[in-house]
């Protein structure tokens, strides 16, 4: 069986889950569902990033022990994964024993391979980003230094272990060159290449000034830099350091779906460390864009954070999925506005999809006693039904390239054509003069709904299952294999009465 391994970033637990977290989860879930329906064995992980200065500070502020704090707040992310009904096969917490074991083993291999040395770190650090900065990357205001995002940095000086990142410049560039698909979209790939070309410095990978992290063995006071700890989570789920042959097969076809802000860690540090540990690299790093809210950057201080729970309560899960997936090309930034949300849901989901199914099935059931009324013949190349069966072939290349919105655009263009077909064929009129013609046209629509119901499962799973339920399709006949004329609904097949799928918003 073909295998694929998809990962979301693991989330800092100091924050409440917001739309950005939900976005990454939903992208991965859509891809996971698509590949599963396509016959792949899928591993899909998400989780929480629970160590580091930022989390420790958040716990201190609440005057709770860090471990007690993270046990509590990581549940919010587990809850989000349940609310979003994502199909993750694992949830990694970096405070779990299996993860500590993996991170320590990874460190050990880097040490054995002579990739780590002890020295002193002096430089700027942003707690929010959990990242080191060079002075040239910062802005100076009133004798203080800030990141481009306006985050004040602090000066740190401490003993630290370093990873010999500078040794890997050429190897990385060679790898990007030989594997043009490794970093997507290509604009991000270019950014990474110029970053590496501008020169890499060795990376400070341990901290001694605080204690909330995974201990570096054989030292008294070093803990691992939180990003090293966090990146290893992708291997923890594959049971590193005891990865089986099967785990390696998943790893060979793995994709890290991340936000554009954490590209450097995934596309520079992580591959260099994997090379240094003599491990194969993941297949792909895909960086998605960021959402703004009504044109404004989303931030706690502005108070415009979008809570996915509120959105789901107000509009529904499929509606939220659809908007986020359809509105922007994966990789680009998107703007969230109530107006564009409602417009998108009304035009695509309520009118184009929901209303069409409702009208056709209601009319059919009333006039043809809840039965498929006609035995369809194999369609010719020019028939609309031919295009319907062909839709999977048409969107497969888009989905292989994670172009989710493009795939949805194609499916909804087809739905447009089905609407036009219904309007033009006017079964309510033909029924009065030639019932056979009305029966044939309705059957073309109903069979199309079967295919559309299957094909939309990765994107709007709840509605798809409902559509397939209206058509009485068995659970085991709902994957992509069944998008074929040989599995068509036969004349006489029972059809249930439809319920409304998507209410319209005013």
State in angstroms the smallest separation of the CB of 287 from ligand MSP: 8
Q: Is 161 exposed, middle or buried (0-12, 13-18, 19+ CB in 10 A)?
A: buried
Residue nearest to ligand MSP (CB): 259
10 binds ligand MSP (CB under 6 A): yes
Region binding ligand MSP by CB under 6 A among candidate stretches 5-13, 80-88, 198-206, 454-462: 5-13
Q: Is 99 exposed, middle or buried (0-12, 13-18, 19+ CB in 10 A)?
A: buried
262 binds ligand MSP (CB under 6 A): yes
Which sign, positive or negative, has the C-alpha torsion 182, 187, 192, 197? positive
Which one of 4, 6, 20, 131 is in contact with ligand MSP (CB under 6 A)? 20
Which one of 9, 271, 453, 498 is in contact with ligand MSP (CB under 6 A)? 9
State in angstroms the smallest separation of the CB of 128 from ligand MSP: 9
State in angstroms the smallest separation of the CB of 105 from ligand MSP: 17
Count how many Cα atoms sit within 13 Å of the Cα of residue 328 in the half-sphere of its side chain.
16
For ligand MSP (CB under 6 A), the number of binding residues is 20
259 binds ligand MSP (CB under 6 A): yes
Distances (CA, A) of 155 to 131, 151, 158, 161, 479: 12, 13, 10, 17, 55
Q: Is the peptide bond before 362 cis (omega within 30 degrees of 0)?
A: no
Local structure of 242: helix, strand or coil: coil
Q: Concatenate the DSSP letters of all residues of 16-53 into one string.
A: PP-HHHHHHHHHHHHHHHHHHHTT-EEEEEEEEE--SH
Region binding ligand MSP by CB under 6 A among candidate stretches 9-17, 140-148, 206-214, 278-286: 9-17
Q: Which helix (DSSP H) or strand (DSSP E) does residue 289 occupy? A: none
Site string for ligand MSP, 297-316 (x = CB under 6 A): -x------------------
Nearer to ligand MSP, 21 or 450 (CB): 21
271 binds ligand MSP (CB under 6 A): no
261 binds ligand MSP (CB under 6 A): yes
| Cα separation, 292 vs 285, whole angstroms | 23
290 binds ligand MSP (CB under 6 A): yes
54 binds ligand MSP (CB under 6 A): no
Instruction: Name the CA radius of gyration of the chain, rounded.
Output: 26
Output the six-digit token pair for 263: 């590209």
State in angstroms the smallest separation of the CB of 259 from ligand MSP: 2
Output the six-digit token pair for 246: 């099967």
Local structure of 477: helix, strand or coil: helix
53 binds ligand MSP (CB under 6 A): no
23 binds ligand MSP (CB under 6 A): yes
State in angstroms the smallest separation of the CB of 231 from ligand MSP: 5
Which one of 31, 231, 446, 471 is in contact with ligand MSP (CB under 6 A)? 231
Contacts with ligand MSP, residue ranges (CB under 6 A): 9-12, 15, 20-21, 23-24, 49, 230-231, 233, 258-259, 261-262, 290-291, 298
């Amino acid at each position: 069986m073909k295998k694929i391994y998809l990962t979301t970033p693991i989330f800092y637990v100091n924050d409440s889950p917001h739309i950005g977290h939900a976005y990454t989860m939903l992208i991965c879930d859509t891809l996971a569902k698509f590949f599963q329906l396509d016959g792949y064995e899928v591993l899909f992980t998400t989780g929480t990033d629970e160590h580091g200065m930022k989390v420790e500070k958040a716990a201190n502020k609440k005057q709770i022990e860090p471990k007690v704090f993270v046990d509590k707040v990581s549940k919010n992310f587990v809850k989000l994964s349940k609310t979003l009904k994502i199909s993750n096969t694992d949830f990694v917490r970096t405070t779990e024993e299996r993860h500590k074991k993996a991170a320590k083993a990874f460190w050990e291999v880097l040490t054995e391979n002579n990739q780590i040395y002890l020295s002193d770190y002096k430089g700027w650090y942003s707690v929010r980003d959990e990242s080191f900065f060079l002075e040239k990357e910062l802005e100076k205001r009133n004798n203080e230094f800030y990141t481009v995002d306006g985050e004040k940095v602090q000066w740190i000086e401490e003993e630290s272990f370093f990873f010999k990142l500078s040794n890997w410049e050429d190897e990385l560039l060679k790898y990007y060159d030989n594997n043009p698909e490794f970093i997507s979209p290509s604009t991000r790939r270019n950014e990474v290449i110029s970053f590496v070309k501008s020169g890499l410095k060795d990376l400070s990978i341990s901290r001694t000034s605080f204690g909330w992290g995974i201990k570096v063995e054989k030292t008294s006071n070093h803990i691992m830099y939180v990003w090293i700890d966090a990146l290893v989570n992708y291997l923890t789920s594959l049971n590193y350091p005891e990865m089986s042959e099967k785990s390696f097969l998943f790893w060979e076809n793995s994709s890290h779906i991340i936000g554009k802000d954490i590209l450097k860690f995934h596309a520079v540090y992580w591959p260099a460390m994997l090379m240094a540990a003599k491990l194969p690299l993941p297949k792909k790093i895909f960086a998605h864009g960021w959402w703004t809210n009504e044109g404004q950057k989303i931030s706690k201080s502005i108070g415009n954070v979008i809570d996915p729970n509120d959105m789901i309560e107000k509009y529904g899960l499929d509606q939220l999925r659809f908007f986020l997936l359809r509105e922007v090309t994966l990789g680009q930034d998107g703007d969230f506005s109530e107006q564009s949300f409602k417009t998108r849901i009304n035009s695509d989901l309520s009118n184009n999809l929901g209303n069409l199914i409702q009208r056709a099935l209601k009319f059919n059931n009333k006039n043809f006693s809840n039965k498929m009324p006609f035995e369809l013949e194999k369609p010719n190349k020019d028939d609309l039904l031919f295009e319907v069966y062909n839709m999977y072939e048409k969107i497969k290349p888009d989905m292989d390239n994670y172009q989710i919105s493009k795939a949805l655009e194609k499916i909804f263009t087809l739905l447009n054509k089905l609407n036009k077909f219904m309007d033009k064929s006017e079964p309510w009129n033909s029924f009065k003069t030639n019932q056979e013609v009305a029966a044939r046209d309705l059957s073309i629509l109903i069979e199309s709904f079967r295919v559309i119901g299957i094909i939309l499962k990765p994107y709007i799973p709840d509605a798809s299952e409902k559509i397939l339920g209206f058509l009485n399709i068995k659970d085991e006949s709902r994957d992509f294999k069944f998008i074929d004329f040989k599995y068509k609904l036969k004349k006489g097949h029972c059809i249930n009465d439809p319920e409304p799928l998507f209410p319209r918003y005013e």
